[in-house]
Amino acid sequence: MTAPETLRFEDHRLILIDQTKLPGELAELVCTTVRQTHDAIQRLVVRGAPAIGIAAAYGVCLAASDSAASESSDDSPADERSRYIDAIDYLATSRPTAVNLFWALDRMRHVVESTPVEKLNDALVAEAKRIHDEDREMCHAIGRNGAPLLSEIDTVLTHCNAGGLATSTWGTALAPIYHLHQTGNAPKVIADETRPLLQGGRLTAWELSQAGVDVTVITDSMSGSLMRQGVIQAVIVGADRITARGDVANKIGTYPVAVLARHHGIPFYVAAPTNTFDLELDSGDDIPIEQRGRDEVAAPHGVGIVPDAANVLNPAFDVTPAELVTAIITQRGVIHQPTAEAIARHFNS
Ligand SMILES: CSC[C@@H](O)[C@@H](O)C(=O)COP(=O)(O)O
């Protein structure tokens, strides 16, 4: 069976799998405006660092149809350009942590600034499609590069969803598993359910089972005990931002898994394309962490489970320091025991 596409751009419309409805319903959401795209990213209709970047790039293209529908379609070239820049600036406010969003929008900004106005529309669509195509290649290369690290093990743990739903195709953390699955050698996967929005229980479990990969969902609090029993032999996760020295921001709950993995002597792998690196930041403490609303924790599915008088914290991401990371897998290869020097070498090779 061919996996449904996380996102596609057809007839100047951005079509997204609505990930808020999975696994119950495989529904699509169609965006025809910049505002709808911003809303879809903010509500996690589309989510996962690479997919957010691709969706935002297509979202910029929708500024053209927004303007065609408006009364000011006879704007001057300067107005036309500033409409796209406004769209880029606005989409950049949708979510703060995944650096892929800003990376993709910077590429679109460069096109806006360097292309004659009459060619802008086509040039922006072409650039967004390039970003999309490059992501497919990166996922497959991460799959190839990461596969040897998982080929000898029986069971791997993953947290959140860094699979096809978070990218254009195989994902990052799940790419080595899909690569091995082609030859029937994939390890079994344990998926943390990933409170509060359950990207593991809903999305990772959905896409791996669709693909025929053996997947078992656990609550986030179970992994330590399973590591102690020897059930889990490796951990692999994605990333939203990796600093120059290798600190990794990823879904909240990743850091405790890394600490547990170190305690039990289990390798902790991070899989991410090079556009997830923010080489301008050194320390992970400087990564902006998205704080989301109270209800995601206090009233899942609209059912209140926390007394009104109690405070709630809901940071969407945490930071795992580089010293807990066994290796980072990118489309270029593997950075073992990441340090600032090893990462700089990887980028300069
Ligand atoms: C290849 S996706 C990598 C990360 O973006 C993923 O692990 C993650 O944390 C996603 O968080 P989300 O809040 O669902 O966008």
Query: How would DSSP label each residue in 313-340?
Result: --BSEEEE-GGG-SEEEETTEEEES--H
Which residues sit in the known binding site? 47-49, 95, 199, 250-251
pLDDT interval class at 277 (50, 70, 90): very high
Contact predicate 120/79, CB 8 Å: no
Q: Is the pLDDT of residue 210 over 80?
A: yes
Residue 289, helix vs strand vs coil: coil
Q: Rounded to the nearest whole angstrom, what is the distance from the C-alpha of residue 48 to the centroid of ligand 1?
A: 4
pLDDT at 99: 98
pLDDT at 247: 99
Higher pLDDT, 80 or 141: 141
Query: How would DSSP label each residue in 229-261?
Result: TT---EEEE--SEEETT--EEEETTHHHHHHHH
Q: Is the pLDDT of residue 68 over 70?
A: no
Q: Is the CB of 171 under 6 A from ligand 1?
A: yes
Residues sharing a CB contact under 8 Å with residue 297, sequence separation 6 or more, in sequence order = 195, 196, 306, 312, 313, 314
Q: Rounded to the nearest whole angstrom, what is the distance from the C-alpha of residue 49 to the centroid of ligand 1?
A: 5
Q: Which of 251, 186, 203, 261 is nearest to 231 (CA)?
A: 261
Please provide the CATH number assigned to the domain covering 142-348: 3.40.50.10470
154 is written with which tokens? 């029986």
Higher pLDDT, 63 or 79: 63
Mean pLDDT score of the chain: 96
End-to-end CA gap in the chain? 38
pLDDT at 79: 87
Q: Rounded to the nearest whole angstrom, what is the distance from the C-alpha of residue 239 to the centroid of ligand 1?
A: 7
Boundaries of CATH 3.40.50.10470 in the chain? Answer: 142-348
pLDDT at 74: 62
pLDDT at 4: 79
Q: Is the CB of 199 under 6 A from ligand 1?
A: yes
* C-alpha 291: how far from chain center: 17
Q: Is the CB of 164 under 6 A from ligand 1?
A: no
98 is written with which tokens? 């995944």
> If you classify domain 7-136 with CATH, what class do you get?
mainly alpha
Mean pLDDT of 329-348: 98
Q: Is the pLDDT of residue 70 over 60?
A: no
**What type of residue is 88?**
I
Boundaries of CATH 1.20.120.420 in the chain? Answer: 7-136
Taking only the tens place, the pLDDT of each residue in 5-32 is: 999 999 999 999 999 999 999 999 999 9
* C-alpha 66: how far from chain center: 27
Query: How would DSSP label each residue in 178-229?
Result: HHHHTTT-PPEEEEE--TTTTIIIIIIHHHHHHHT--EEEE-GGGHHHHHHT
Q: Is the CB of 316 under 6 A from ligand 1?
A: yes
Q: What is the 3-state secondary structure (H, E, C) of 8-72?
A: EEECCEEEEECCCCCCCCCCEEEECCHHHHHHHHHCCCCCCHHHHHHHHHHHHHHHHHHHHHCCC
Q: Is the pLDDT of residue 80 over 70?
A: yes
Taking only the tens place, the pLDDT of each residue in 140-165 is: 999 999 999 999 999 999 999 999 99
Q: Name the pTM for this structure.
A: 0.96
pLDDT at 71: 47
**Percentage of the chain modeled with pLDDT above 90:** 93
Adjacent-strand bridge partners of 249: 241, 319
pLDDT at 1: 43
- Catalytic residues, by residue number, are 240
Contact predicate 187/149, CB 8 Å: no
pLDDT interval class at 76 (50, 70, 90): confident
Q: Kindly provide the ipTM of the predicted complex, given to two decimals.
A: 0.99
Mean pLDDT of 252-280: 98
